[in-house]
Chains A and B, each alone.
Chain A
Amino acid sequence: MAQTQADVPKLRLTEVHKAFGDNSVLRGMSLDVDEHEVVTLIGPSGCGKSTVLRCINLLEPIDSGAILFDGDDVSWPGYDANAVRRRVGIVFQSFNLFPHMSVVDNITLAPRKVLGRSRDVATEQAMQLLTRFGLAEKADDFPDRLSGGQQQRVAIVRALAMDPEMMLFDEVTSALDPELVAEVLEVIRGLKDAGLTMVLATHEMTFAREISTRVAFLDDGVVAELGTPEQIFDAPQVPRTQQFLARVGRAGRL
Chain B
Amino acid sequence: MTESPGPVVDPARLSVVRRKGRRDMTVATVSTVLFFLVLGYVVASAPGWPAVQASFFNLDDARASWPKIWPAFLLNVKIFLIAEPIILALALTIAVLRGLRAPVLAPLRVVATIYTDIIRGIPTILLVFLMGFGVPALQLQGLTNSELFWGTVALIVSYSAYVAEVFRAGIESVHPSQRAAARSLGLNNGQGLRYVILPQAVRRVVPPLLNDFISLQKDTALVSLLGVVEVFNASTIYANSTFTYTSLVVAALLFIALTVPMARFTDWVSARMSRQQQG
Contact = CB atoms under 8 A, between A and B. Distances in A.
B186 to A, nearest CB: 4
B279 A92 contact: no
B195 A109 contact: yes
A162 B277 contact: no
B181 A92 contact: yes
Contacts of A110: 185-187
A150 to B, nearest CB: 13
Secondary structure of the B contact surface, majority rule: helix
Interface stretch (B89-97, B196-204, B238-246): B196-204
Given A96-B178, A100-B200, A100-B203, A145 B184 contact: no
Contacts of B278: 144-145
A113 B277 CA distance: 25
Interface string B147-191: 000000000000000000000000000000110111111111001
B279 A59 contact: no
A92 B196 contact: no
A85 B185 contact: yes
A86 B186 contact: yes
A238 B185 CA distance: 37
Contacts of B183: 59, 81-82, 85
Contact of A145 (B195, B196, B279): B279
A182 interface: no
B178 A114 contact: no
Interface residues of B, number: 21
A83 B175 CA distance: 24
Interface in A75-127: 81-83, 85-86, 89-90, 92, 94, 96-100, 109-110, 113-114
A185 B195 CA distance: 30
Contacts of A114: 185-187, 191
B186 A109 contact: no
Contacts of B196: 98, 109
A159 interface: yes
B176 to A, nearest CB: 10
B186 A85 contact: yes
B180 A144 contact: no
Given A99-B200, A141-B279, A144-B278, A92 B187 contact: no
Contacts of A94: 177
A40 interface: no
Interface residues of A, number: 27
B186 A98 contact: no
Q: Of residues B183, B185, B277, which shows the largest number of chain A Cβ atoms within 10 Å of its Cβ?
A: B185
B277 A90 contact: no
Contacts of A158: 185
A160 to B, nearest CB: 11
A225 B181 CA distance: 31
B199 A100 contact: yes
Contacts of B181: 92, 96-98
Interface string B180-224: 111111111001000110011001000000000000000000000
A244 interface: no
A145 B275 CA distance: 12
A15 B198 CA distance: 39
A172 to B, nearest CB: 13
Nearest to A90: B184
A207 interface: no
A220 B158 CA distance: 54
Interface of B: 177-178, 180-188, 191, 195-196, 199-200, 203, 276-279
25 contacts: A59-B180, A59-B184, A81-B183, A85-B185, A85-B186, A89-B184, A89-B185, A92-B177, A92-B180, A96-B178, A96-B180, A97-B181, A98-B182, A98-B196, A99-B200, A99-B277, A100-B203, A109-B185, A109-B196, A141-B279, A144-B277, A144-B279, A145-B279, A159-B185, A162-B185
Given A92-B180, A109-B187, 11 more contacts: A59-B183, A82-B183, A82-B188, A83-B186, A86-B186, A92-B177, A92-B184, A97-B181, A99-B200, A110-B186, A114-B186
